[in-house]
């Protein structure tokens, strides 16, 4: 990677949160960056719930460490984006409520494990008030938070403009290599040559690379009505209060890139919402949509590297949470430093003897 110190142009393919965070970090260090994206609107990032929830997700081991580091980096990340873009990003601290439904009491054991390790956790047994009688406890994970992903999108694109980053709308269809270097990428409209490349194309990664990433569709809806104070994360719904509405997520469907919202999906979401907060039954439906999580067989991200490139993908359910740490790792790699996490989450884990079948 020694040569990369003198590189002049870095190409980032993909304009979701992972790609654009890399762009901002690199541009702020004076690098010349060009973004190529098929469609700035289609990224899963902008339809995501925006929960920053490694505890509620029950993450463990290296994935937890990676996620927790990113969670701790979030306040700085948001501040940086606000400063560069001049736009406000709604970001809430102070914790998420992990809802424990009757029959799910093992979740209290998970909370106890985090508490024993010193993470801030409070348990409220038999909560009353807004919660349904099906809710047996609430675990308050005080270090978690959430972010409005639409405001994040606006701030990231505005930061790009402020940093004079060139954004090209094109679909990359081929990557030309010689051994472990990328020479150029071919798009439908033109070809692009850089000194280094970052690929952050989420659920579509397999269209360009032989890596086990596949789409897991998530439908969600938005409601207007009385909002809970903080995120209520349950096994049947996530209820995420934003400035002017409640985001209700999300289904998890292995249906490839099949688009659209289904009646079944909407039913699951509305029933899931009312099972936690019955008063939501009188809320008004404001909007609904869907997106594709970049899933991997072991639900962990993937880094793949060569002499002048890094692929950062497979962030599955936690790509919003993982943006700061991933962007930092990618930027450092381009500058010649290899993070420990690149090896931990290398694609080689699927090919070195301990790989499960990843056919999807
Ligand atoms: C309903 C839902 C809810 C979610 N909730 C949360 C949550 O609460 N918290 C959380 O942390 N995560 C959440 N996620 C997961 C999160 O959204 C993803 O992990 C994250 O957005 C992945 O970001 P990305 O930048 O890798 O991919 P994306 O945001 O999907 O961006 C990929 C980009 O690559 C471009 N692209 C693809 N192929 C090409 C090509 N060949 N050439 C050029 N450009 C290309 C696309 O146009 C797009 O711009 C949720 C996801 C969904 C679907």
In a domain, 26, yes or no: yes
**235-294: pLDDT as tens digits:** 999 999 999 999 999 999 999 999 999 999 999 999 999 999 999 999 999 999 999 999
What's the residue count for the chain? 360
Residue 165 CA to ligand 1 center (angstroms) comes to 20
Rounded distance from Cα 319 to ligand 1 centre (Å): 7
Confidence of residue 352 (pLDDT cuts 50, 70, 90): low
Average pLDDT across the chain, whole number: 95
Please name the residue whose Cα sits nearest to atom 35 of ligand 1. 14
Same domain, 82 and 12: yes
* CA 278 to centroid of ligand 1, rounded, Å: 31
Residue 322 has pLDDT above 80, yes or no: yes
Q: Does the pLDDT at position 318 exceed 50?
A: yes
| Number of domains into which the chain is organized | 3
Q: What is the DSSP string of 98-117?
A: EEEETT-THHHHHHHHHHHT
Q: What is the pTM of this model?
A: 0.95
Residues 311 and 251 in one domain: no
75/100 same-domain check = no
pLDDT tens-digit readout, 156-207: 999 999 999 999 999 999 999 999 999 999 999 999 999 999 999 999 999 9
Cβ distance 202 to 16 under 8 Å? yes
Please provide the DSSP assignment of 25-52 as one string.
Answer: HHHHTT-EEEEEES-TT--GGGGS--EE
| CATH number of 290's domain | 3.30.9.10
What are the pocket residues of ligand 1 if the criterion is a CB atom closer than 6 Å to any ligand atom?
13-19, 36-39, 42-45, 47-51, 171-172, 200-204, 207-208, 218, 220, 249-250, 291-294, 313, 315-321
Residue 6 binned pLDDT confidence (cut-offs 50, 70, 90)? low
Give the mutation target among 186, 202, 324 for probing the ligand 1 site: most ligand atoms within 8 A of CB. 202
Closest residue by CA, ligand 1 atom 3 = 48
In this prediction, residue 129 carries a pLDDT of 86
Q: Is the pLDDT of residue 358 over 80?
A: no
Distance 103 CA to ligand 1 centre (A): 33
Q: Report the atom number in ligand 1 closest to the C-alpha of 203.
A: 30
Q: How far, in Å, is the centroid of ligand 1 from the Cα of 2?
A: 31
Instruction: With CA atoms as reference, report the closest residue to 125 among 107, 146, 113, 144.
Output: 107
- DSSP for 136-184, written as a single string: EEEEEETT-EEE-HHHHHHHHHHHHHHTT-EEEE--EEEEEEETTEEEE
In 3D, which of 9, 31, 6, 14 has the Cα closest to residue 331?
31
Q: Judge whether 334 lies within some domain.
A: yes
> What number does the ligand 1 atom closest to the CA of 316 have?
19
Q: Which of 13, 14, 92 to mutate to test the pocket of ligand 1 (most atoms within 8 A of CB)?
A: 14
- Checking if the pLDDT of 359 tops 60, the result is no
Same domain, yes or no: 246 and 170: no
For ligand 1, atom 20, the nearest C-alpha belongs to 319
The answer on pLDDT for 5 being more than 70 is: no
> Rg of the chain over CA atoms, in angstroms?
21
For position 268, what pLDDT does the model report? 98
Is the same domain home to 17 and 123?
no
The pLDDT value given to residue 267:
98
Query: What are the tens digits of pLDDT across the range 37-81?
Result: 999 999 999 999 999 999 999 999 999 999 999 999 999 999 999
Structural domain contains residue 325: yes
β-bridge partners, 214: 295
Q: Is the pLDDT of residue 357 over 50?
A: no
pLDDT at 157: 98
Q: Which is the closest atom of ligand 1 to the Cα of 292?
A: 53
Is there a single domain that holds both residue 121 and residue 54? no
Q: Tell me, what's the pLDDT at 333?
A: 97
Tokens matching residue 145: 């938070």
Domain containing 223 equals 214-295
Specify the 3-state DSSP secondary structure of 220.
strand
């Amino acid at each position: 990677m020694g040569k990369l110190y003198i590189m002049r142009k870095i190409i980032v393919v993909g304009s979701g949160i992972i790609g654009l965070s890399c762009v901002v970090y690199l541009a702020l260090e004076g690098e010349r960056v060009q973004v190529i994206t098929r469609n700035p609107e289609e990224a899963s990032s902008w339809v995501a719930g925006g929960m920053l929830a490694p505890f509620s997700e029950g993450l463990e081991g290296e994935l937890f460490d990676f996620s927790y580091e990113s969670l701790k980096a979030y306040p700085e990340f948001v501040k940086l984006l606000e400063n560069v873009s001049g736009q406000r990003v709604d970001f809430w601290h102070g914790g998420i409520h992990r809802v424990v439904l009757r029959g799910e009491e093992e979740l209290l054991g998970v909370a106890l494990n985090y508490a024993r390790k010193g993470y801030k956790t409070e348990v409220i047994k038999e909560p009353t008030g807004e919660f349904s009688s099906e809710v047996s406890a609430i675990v308050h994970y005080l270090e978690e938070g959430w972010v409005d992903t639409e405001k994040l999108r606006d701030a990231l694109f505005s930061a790009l403009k402020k940093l004079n980053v060139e954004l090209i709308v094109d679909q990359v269809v081929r990557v030309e290599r010689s051994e472990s270097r990328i020479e150029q990428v071919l798009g439908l409209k033109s070809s692009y040559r850089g000194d280094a490349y970052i690929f952050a194309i989420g659920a579509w990664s397999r269209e360009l690379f032989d890596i086990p990433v596949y789409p897991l569709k998530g439908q969600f809806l938005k409601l207007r009505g009385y909002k809970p104070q903080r995120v209520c994360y349950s096994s049947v719904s996530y209820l995420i209060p934003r400035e002017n509405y409640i985001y209700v997520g999300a289904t998890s469907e292995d249906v490839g890139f099949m688009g659209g919202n289904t009646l079944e999906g909407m039913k699951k979401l509305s029933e899931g919402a009312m099972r936690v907060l019955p008063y939501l039954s009188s809320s008004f439906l404001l909007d609904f949509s869907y997106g594709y999580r970049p899933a991997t067989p072991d639900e962990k991200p993937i880094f793949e590297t060569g002499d002048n490139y890094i692929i950062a993908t497979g962030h599955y359910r936690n790509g919003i949470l993982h943006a700061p740490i991933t962007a930092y790792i990618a930027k450092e790699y381009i500058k010649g430093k290899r993070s420990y996490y690149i090896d931990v989450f290398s694609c080689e884990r699927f090919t070195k003897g301990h790989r499960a079948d990843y056919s999807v």
